[in-house]
Amino acid sequence: MSNVTISCPYCGFSRQIPYDKVPDGPRKVTCPKCQETFIYTRPEEAPVTESSGVSPISKETSVAPQGGQSADAANETNTDSFAELRSRPVPPLMTDIGELFQESWTIFKSRFATLIGLCLLGIAGFIAPILLAGGLASMTTAGGGIFVSLIALGVLVGFLCGIWCLGGLLCAVVDDGLNLKGALQKGKGIILSLTWISILSAFIICGGYLLLIIPGIIFSVWFVFGQFLLVEDEARGMGALLKSREYVRGQWFNVAIRLLLIWAVSGIISAIPLAGPFLSLAFFPYVMIFQYLIFRNLRQIKGEIPYPCGVGNKLVWPAVSLLGLIVVPALVISLAGFSVFGALSLLAPLAKGKIMQSTQAPEAIPPLASPLAPVEPGLPGIGGSPETNPTSPTDASGALSSDEIPPESISVFIYAVNYTGEVRVNGTVVQKLEGEPDMQYNYNLNGKSFRNGQNRVVVDFAELPNPPSTMLEIHLRVSRSLQDGQKVVLGEWRINEKGTGSRIFEFEIPK
């Protein structure tokens, strides 16, 4: 009994079946290895002998097993031949870049009306439904759900119309005999398949770019011809992308140079002010022609090729892309979170009001303004200027009670940031200035070291090296509580000097 050999045009798997058991006419065949479906037509006449019979197979020509050879042996031979074909070095016969530009221009000029018409229809088909849905949604008085539904419907219809015209453009580029109407009719049949290929390729390529850019460039070159394989070979989904990758194998650098060059030209044109978007629209069909000519050149070099398209092969690249789309952003967000957390931890003491205070008689910060406040030489103070010299509040006694007030009624407020040092009153150290970068210290002290009459305050200071911010200040204020509950500022001084130094302030506490 004569046998016919049926071979999968996708993965090269072959199987022999008795001629009488193969039904007449075109039949859909599903490959048991890669699960791809293709059309097979039984030859009109049975092979004369098993050794010489050749069965016509969709998109592949397979040789039947030689006499005495089993079907399994034939399968192994066929599979080995495909493996040998895949590993065979391909001669570098890529078309010269200059010729590629010239040939693309020739085709573009001859097909200008059809291609530009499809582009304009695609833009109109995408925008019109969205505008119509937006207008209807703005006129409706229903709730927000109806509004959102109308907008979503408009976007969906616009997207499908755009894909339809893109499919027509691809068909017109591949088949130069199609007019506008014929291209649209043919493009209508590949709307869903083209949508699926576009989603898959965008998903994989975006994930690749998130994996530090270079994988995205590699994926962009690998999978760029999937849409042309859909039109020419009816390859769908990941099968089309994997077959595109197989055609690029061994010629990646040559293909990448040509693609990156045409993409760069397209980007430069689109960047032209004002006219850029319109010129980019007109240039888009030229880019598609250029890419198709590269694909056609690869096909002339390699011919019809098998390619791995099992379930594992179809899942590996989406899985890699998923790694880029989920793991990498999660890692970046985590690192950013740790950085923000670290910055907030430095500000936490300030946000929570954490200040370093003395344990001596804390009191509220007294008001800053007082007409009696003397001003340190060379430094502006309240109600003074840099040229104002500190003066003793000679008229303070007039505002005070004639009764003597003990020195314990004196309060001292010290504020310091990005300084270390100490404050001495009449030779006694009353406060050490603790310095941590950008930490603001408030000290509230009593007046045990002060006395009625003349008093001397000495401030020794040293600027912290390289503080994170420009804040640099020591603020010192001495006030006195009167018997009627009022407070009088006896002296107030500020230090903003860089480096190290010592400042002396003198004032009198009247009896």
Q: So what's the pLDDT on residue 48?
A: 53
The SS3 of residue 83 is helix
* Beta strand residue intervals within 288-378, DSSP E: none
Residue 401 pLDDT > 60: no
In a domain, 384, yes or no: no
Bigger pLDDT: 120 or 408? 120
**Taking 50 as the threshold, does the pLDDT of residue 53 lie above it?**
no
Contact in structure between 34 and 309 (CB atoms under 8 Å): yes
Residue 63 pLDDT > 90, yes or no?
no
Per-residue pLDDT tens over the stretch 196-205:
999 999 999 9
Q: How confident is the model at residue 133, as a pLDDT? A: 87
Q: What is the CA radius of gyration of the chain?
A: 43
What is the spatial distance between Cα 167 and Cα 189, in angstroms, rounded to a whole number? 9
Percentage of the chain modeled with pLDDT above 90: 37
Q: Give per-residue pLDDT as tens, 86-105.
A: 444 544 578 899 999 999 99
Q: Based on the domain organization, do 249 and 103 belong to the same domain?
A: yes
Domain count of the fold of the chain = 3
**Same structural domain, 262 and 174:** yes
Same domain flag for 20 and 136? no
Q: Alpha-carbon distance 403 to 400, whole Å?
A: 8
Query: Looking at the structure, do residues 42 and 182 belong to the same domain, yes or no?
Result: no
Do 315 and 415 share a domain, yes or no?
no
The residue with greater pLDDT, 451 or 259, is 259
Q: Are 59 and 117 members of one domain?
A: no
Give me the pLDDT at residue 400, please. 39
Q: What is the pLDDT of residue 125?
A: 92
Q: Which of 35, 68, 87 is the last residue of a domain?
A: 87
Q: Are residues 29 and 101 in the same domain?
A: no
Range of the domain at 501: 396-509
Q: Per the domain annotation, does 505 fall within a domain? A: yes
Mean pLDDT of 176-186: 92
Query: Same domain, yes or no, for 75 and 101?
Result: no
pLDDT at 447 exceeding the cut of 70: yes
Residue 343 forms part of a structural domain: no
The region of weakest confidence among 115-124, 236-245, 271-280, 485-494 is 485-494
Q: Are residues 71 and 199 in the same domain?
A: no
User: Using CB atoms within 10 A of its CB, is residue 249 exposed (0-12), middle (13-18) or buried (19+)?
Assistant: middle
Q: Which helix (H) or strand (E) holds 505?
A: strand 500-509
What pLDDT score was predicted for residue 331? Answer: 84
Report if residue 358 sits inside a domain: no
Final residue of a domain: which of 275, 310, 326? 326
What per-residue confidence (pLDDT) applies to 395?
Answer: 42
User: Residue 4's closest CA among 47, 38, 37, 40?
Assistant: 47
Q: Read out DSSP for 439-491?
A: -EEEEEEE-TT--SEEEEEEEEEEEPSS-SSS--EEEEEEEEE-TTS-EEEEE
What integer is the mean pLDDT of 299-304? Answer: 88
Give a yes or no: residue 352 inside a domain. Answer: no
- Tell me what pLDDT residue 346 has: 60
Predicted local distance difference test score (pLDDT) of residue 499: 86
Q: What is the mean pLDDT of the chain?
A: 78
Note the pLDDT of residue 46.
60
Which tops the pLDDT comparison, 17 or 362?
Answer: 17
Are 445 and 309 contained in the same domain? no
Q: Are residues 82 and 104 in the same domain?
A: no
What is the strand order of the sheet 500-509 is part of? Answer: 428-433, 419-425, 453-463, 500-509
Locate the DSSP E strands across 318-418.
410-417
Over residues 257-273, the mean pLDDT reads 94
Residues 103 and 72 in one domain: no
Say if CB 324 and CB 210 are below 8 A apart: yes
Per-residue b or e along 161-196, where b marks 16 or more CB atoms closer than 10 Å to that residue's CB: bbbbbbbbbbbbbbeeebebeebbebbeebbebbbb
pLDDT band at 405 (very low <50, low <70, confident <90, very high): low
Residue 309 in contact with residue 11, Cβ under 8 Å?
A: yes
- The string of pLDDT tens digits covering residues 153-162 is 999 999 999 9
The dihedral of CA 335, 336, 337, 338: what is its sign?
A: positive
Is 292 within a domain? yes
Residue 402 lies in a domain: yes
- Looking at 38, 61, 87, the residue that finishes a domain is 87
Whether 196 maps to a domain, the answer reads yes
Binned at pLDDT 50, 70 and 90, residue 436 comes out as confident
Range scoring the smallest mean pLDDT among 37-41, 276-280, 291-295, 374-378: 374-378
